[in-house]
């Protein structure tokens, strides 16, 4: 029985997931049925008929004829949208049944020398509650349903019952064999109980804006085997059918209930796939729905930014080079030492040098390498108010590590700097953290920690103007200088 419940539960989850994924292009989108302008609560009550299908049955029985079991129900519904909702339902019913006229004779457990025969029957009452997920099949496939509505209900519940098993004697009297309302043999002093799963199909007819009538057949799987007061080895699980018929009252002051139109006056518009900017991402999922035609975008519709400098490629004059937005996404071309070689290409940006020597004066290998290291350090970037290194910086850092390994006896001072955002004390601490972050990466990459020192200067040594975003971004930097 447990395997059946696990299977059904897994099937229900899979069914729900598959349908949720497949309805994206067929779901009905109705502007007039949003929750803010439609009623979403309803209550219902009605009569029910219970049919047992276990060791004993309510119909198709033997000498005792069919058993008709009537009861009642009530529920309250809440719709979250035209497709999905939740229901709390309460049930009460008489329950009874007899042996099938074609049943084989087999033993009943917990009763000595008792077998399923045509003179056995059970009777009792059952009451309980269940929680169901509501799924509207009509609103999934039909754009305008104003009179008929087809709905599925899937859920689980709990009920108690006082089933008692009787034997009809030849003289017409009934002999009590076992009572699950008070059954010492089962260590059950009070009424028996069980959890159950249910699958139900509801067909509603709209009488008017306030009232519907609903016919709902339901199939139940009972976890225990004693609902019919008979436990056997032949059948260790039970099902039963319940047919419900009742009136539904829709609550609220709005003219429309969530699952209905309004006498055909409220037009339901089919879902439309709209892609305003023709980038292949529908507007509902596009975070930039108005990108220019032909612009390449990511899966969420955002324009591609190849160099991750915050400026999309179609606006970036240097789409493959990291640069501030204030300079149209291009690196700022400054020639600090006035030697005719811009800093981005100058291996010695602070020292006048020769053009044929990449902006550096003629010098020995160690000096060249240290100047190259300091130049590469200008390509190490940080986010505002953070000490984490931007991913675009790691290619330059790895080149620095290779150069450091070429001069293993050289020691270096890593200076941290910030822009002028926040207080001077905060920026001083932040600059030290940035210098330490670079040092830690060097150490993890094999550089001896004894060769490295760090210091943070905060905002005290700006290299560029702090009056614009581009300058502030360049001031969030580290400088790597040799220790002599």
Phi-psi category of residue 227: left, alpha or beta, with phi > 0 → left and psi -120 to 50 → alpha: alpha
Cα(119)–Cα(63) distance, integer angstroms: 7
Choose among 150, 154, 136: nearest CA to 30: 136
Q: Which pLDDT value is given to residue 403?
A: 92
pLDDT confidence of residue 336: 81
Residues sharing a CB contact under 8 Å with residue 364, sequence separation 6 or more, in sequence order: none
- What separation in angstroms does the CA of 133 have from each of 24, 81, 128, 197, 201? 20, 12, 17, 12, 12
Contact status, residue 416 vs residue 433, Cβ threshold 8 Å: yes
Q: Measured in whole angstroms, how far is the alpha carbon of residue 39 from the centre of its chain? A: 27
484 residues of the chain, pLDDT tens digit each = 444 444 444 444 444 443 443 433 333 344 444 556 678 899 999 999 999 988 888 987 777 788 999 999 999 999 988 889 999 999 999 999 988 755 555 566 666 656 666 778 899 999 999 999 999 998 877 655 678 999 999 999 999 998 888 888 888 888 888 887 765 554 445 678 899 999 999 999 999 888 999 999 999 999 888 888 887 776 667 899 999 999 999 998 887 777 775 544 545 556 577 888 888 888 888 888 888 888 888 888 898 998 888 889 898 989 888 888 888 888 777 778 888 888 777 778 888 887 777 777 766 678 878 888 988 988 888 877 888 888 888 999 999 999 999 998 899 999 999 888 889 999 999 999 999 999 999 999 999 999 999 999 999 999 888 888 888 888 888 999 998 7
CA separation (Å) from 100 to 49, 65, 221, 429?
Answer: 19, 9, 20, 86
Distance between CA atoms of residues 74 and 120, nearest Å: 32
Cα–Cα distance between 450 and 412 in angstroms, integer? 10
Q: Under DSSP, is residue 69 helix (H, G, I), strand (E, B) or coil? A: strand
Q: CATH 3.30.1330.60 in the chain, residues?
A: 332-483
Tokens read off for 80 = 């979250």
- Contact (CB, 8 A) for 432 and 454: yes
Q: Are strands 411-416 and 452-456 parallel, antiparallel or unpaired?
A: parallel
C-alpha triplet 281, 284, 290: angle, nearest 5° = 60
d(C-alpha 252, C-alpha 262), whole Å = 14
Could you name the CATH architecture of 332-483? Answer: 2-Layer Sandwich (3.30)
Alpha carbon distances (Å) from 351 to 340, 346, 354, 411: 11, 9, 10, 20
Angle at 281 between CA 280 and CA 283, to 5 degrees: 130
Helix (H, G, I), strand (E, B) or coil at 261: coil
**What is the pairing mode between strands 192-206 and 211-222?**
antiparallel
Phi, psi of 325, deg, nearest 5: -65, -35
Query: Where in the chain is CATH 2.40.160.20?
Result: 2-250
Contact 175, 167 (CB under 8 A): yes
Class of domain 2-250: mainly beta
Q: What is the DSSP string of 117-140?
A: -TTEEEEEEEEEEEEEEEEESHHH
């Amino acid at each position: 029985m447990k395997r059946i419940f696990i299977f059904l539960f897994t099937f229900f989850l899979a069914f729900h997931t598959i349908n949720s994924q497949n309805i994206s292009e067929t779901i009905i989108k109705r502007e007039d049925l949003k929750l803010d302008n439609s009623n979403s609560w309803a209550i219902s009550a009605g009569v029910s008929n219970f049919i047992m299908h276990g060791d004993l049955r309510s119909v198709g029985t033997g000498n005792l004829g069919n058993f008709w079991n009537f009861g009642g129900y009530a529920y309250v519904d809440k719709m979250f949208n035209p497709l999905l909702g939740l229901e709390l339902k309460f049930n009460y019913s008489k329950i009874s049944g007899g042996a099938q006229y074609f049943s084989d004779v087999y033993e009943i457990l917990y009763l000595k020398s008792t077998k399923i025969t045509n003179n056995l029957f059970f009777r009792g009452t059952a009451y309980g509650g269940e929680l169901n997920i509501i799924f509207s099949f009509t609103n999934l496939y039909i754009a305008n349903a104003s009179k008929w509505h087809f709905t599925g209900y899937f859920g689980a519940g709990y009920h108690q019952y006082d089933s008692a098993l009787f034997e009809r004697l030849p003289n017409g009297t009934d002999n009590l064999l076992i009572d699950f309302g008070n059954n010492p043999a089962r260590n059950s002093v009070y009424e028996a109980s069980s959890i159950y799963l249910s699958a139900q199909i509801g067909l509603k007819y709209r009488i008017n804006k306030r009232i519907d009538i609903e016919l709902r057949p339901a199939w139940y799987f009972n976890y225990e085997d004693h609902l019919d007061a008979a436990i056997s080895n032949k059948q260790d699980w039970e099902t039963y059918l319940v047919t419900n018929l009742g009136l539904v009252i829709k609550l609220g002051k709005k003219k429309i209930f969530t699952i209905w139109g309004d006498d055909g006056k409220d037009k339901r518009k089919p879902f439309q796939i709209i892609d305003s900017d023709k980038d292949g991402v529908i507007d509902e999922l596009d975070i930039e729905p108005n990108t220019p035609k032909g612009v390449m975008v990511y899966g969420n519709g955002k324009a591609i930014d190849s160099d991750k400098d915050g400026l999309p490629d179609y606006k970036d004059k240097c789409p493959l080079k990291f640069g501030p937005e204030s300079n149209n996404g291009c690196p700022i071309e400054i020639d600090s030492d006035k030697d005719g070689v811009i800093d981005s290409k100058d291996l010695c940006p602070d020292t006048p040098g020769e053009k044929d020597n990449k902006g550096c004066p003629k010098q020995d290998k160690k000096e060249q390498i240290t100047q190259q290291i300091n130049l590469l350090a200008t390509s190490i970037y940080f986010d505002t108010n953070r000490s984490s290194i931007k991913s675009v910086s790691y290619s330059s850092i790895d080149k620095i590590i290779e150069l450091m390994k070429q001069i293993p006896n050289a020691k270096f001072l890593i200076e941290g700097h910030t822009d002028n955002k926040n207080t001077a004390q905060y920026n001083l601490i932040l600059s030290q953290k940035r210098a330490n972050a670079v040092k830690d990466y060097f150490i993890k990459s094999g550089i001896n920690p004894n060769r490295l020192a760090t210091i943070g200067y905060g905002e005290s040594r700006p290299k560029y103007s702090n009056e614009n975003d581009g300058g502030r971004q360049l001031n969030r930097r580290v400088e790597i200088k040799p220790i002599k």
